[in-house]
Structure formats: C-alpha cells, structure tokens
Amino acid sequence: MTESAASGVLVTRPAGQATAFGEQLQAAGFSPLYLPTLAIAATDPTVAGAALRAALPCDFAVFISANAVQHALPAITAAGGLSPNCGVIAVGPASAQALQAAGFPNLLLPEGRFDSEGLLGLPVLQDVAGKRVVIFRGEGGRTLLAETLAARGADVRALVCYRRVAAGDPVQLAAWLAQDAIAVVTATSRAGLHALMALAGPLAAQLKALPLAVLSPALAEYALQAGFSGPLMAADQARDADLVTAVTRLHGTLAVDR
C-alpha cells in the first residue's frame, strides 16, 4: 500500500457540504476521497408552508440539521414566521449557526450530544404535555425524537422540508476499493451510509470490512446492525473537528496494528 493510499479517507457528504470537512482532513495529513452518496433536494415550499400554517402557533420549533434550517426558511416565510414565544431549538452547532445567520439569535441546543438523544435530554423538552412541537426535518430518518415527545404528551408535527436523493459514482468507488485506496470510510447520516452500501453493490462486503468513522454513537449502532465488521469509531460530538479526531485515532490504531 502506498503512502497516499494509506491516508485516503472516503468523504460521503453531499456535494457542497464536504469541502470544509475535507480541508480539515487535509490539515490533519489525510487525503480526502470525495464521493457524495446523497444529494439534497427541497420539497415544495408551498406545500410545506401550508402544513406549517396548520401547525402554528407552536411552543417549540426543532431543527434536526443545517439542511433542515436552509430548506425550512421558505416555508416559515410563507407561513408568516414563527411566534416570538416559540422556543427555537437546534440539534447542534451547525444548525445553530445557520439559524443565527437567518435571524434567530435566541436558541437552545444540547450541551454534550448533538443528536435526537441530546435533544431529548434538554430540560425544556421534559415536561411537554399539551405543548405543540414542530420538528423541521428531512424525508425518512429516525423517528425517536417525535415518538418520545409524543409519549411525553406533546402534540408533535413533523414538517418534511427536504429529501435525500441517491447520488455517487459506483465506478469510482469500485476503483478505489480495487486499488486499496481507502484507509478509512466516514459517514455522517444513516441515509448516507445506506446509500453508500447500495452504491457498492456486489462490493458491499469489502466496503463493510473497512475501518469506519461516524458522526454519532447512534450511527455507530446502525452501522453495526447493517453489518459493518471493521474497526469502528464514533466522534465524541457531532462536529467536523470531532469526526476528524475520530479518523485520526482510528488511523493511528490501524498503524500500530500494522
């Protein structure tokens, strides 16, 4: 295996969202191999706006990703905006930054874990009986947040404002696998990881044996359930810097093993 191959990291984020992460990988001494497995497409803002108007007023608005923020804004505008009394909650720093840029300065977000479990740990979401919660999200994905809030007595309205479309070049992936060019695979969502497995096709078993660094413990559990059998490491928090750290630790462990 060549030196460049030994440091190749597969980056599977959608095009346009992977550059900053790739630059951090390069700064850490890795060679990013860009293979977006998903493209993000907006749903009809008119339909979403009508659904949101029917859900307003709400007590809490929860945004589960930066994509959700970006694609929810037209629906929020079409619905006349959120009430000043609505608590705005971001799943993590990237979502919070996007919300602040859109004019939502007063935000809540988890302190330690940036996923559904982290959101469910927020004090304001413990006693939500009789409260209306709107979750801005993509099509598909986990249902834990909505189901748990509903079990706590909330009136939960899930607003789908974007969808994920399969993307990627199977020929390029096959070539990298044949060349032993991928030292570590990275994944940041269930949908992205599922799309990557589909992209691999008959080479899925080879792909699943590679070292894998993921953005959250929940995604690590999903990878195990999906049959990934190679070394696996989850980022301490759902941030690019923490995922780079996970890649570095994982790669260091592999270097010692060799």
Q: How many whole angstroms from its chain centre is CA 207?
A: 20
Mean pLDDT of 36-41: 91
Residue-wise pLDDT for 153-197, tens only, equals 999 999 999 988 889 999 999 999 999 999 999 999 888 999 999
User: Considering the chain, what percentage of its residues have pLDDT values greater than 90?
Assistant: 67
Supply 158's token pair: 């899930």
Banded model confidence at residue 80, pLDDT cuts 50, 70, 90: confident
Lowest mean pLDDT, pick from 37-46, 101-110, 164-173: 37-46
pLDDT on residue 5: 47
Question: Which residues on neighbouring strands pair with residue 132, listed in sequence order?
Answer: 155
Residue-wise pLDDT for 125-139, tens only, equals 999 999 999 999 988
Task: Say how far apart CA 250 and CA 254 lie, in whole Å.
Answer: 6
User: Considering the chain, what percentage of its residues have pLDDT values greater than 70?
Assistant: 96
Q: How far is CA 70 from CA 31, 62, 94, 97, 210, in A?
A: 29, 13, 11, 11, 33
Task: Say how far apart CA 254 and CA 258 lie, in whole Å.
Answer: 6
Banded model confidence at residue 51, pLDDT cuts 50, 70, 90: confident
Residue-wise pLDDT for 212-246, tens only, equals 999 988 899 999 999 999 999 999 888 899 999 99
pLDDT on residue 70: 92
Residues contacting residue 14 through CB under 8 Å, at least 6 positions apart: 36, 38, 39, 40, 167, 192
Strand residue runs (E) in 25-152: 31-34, 38-42, 60-63, 87-90, 107-108, 132-138
* Domains of the chain by start residue, with CATH: 3-37+167-257 (3.40.50.10090), 41-164 (3.40.50.10090)
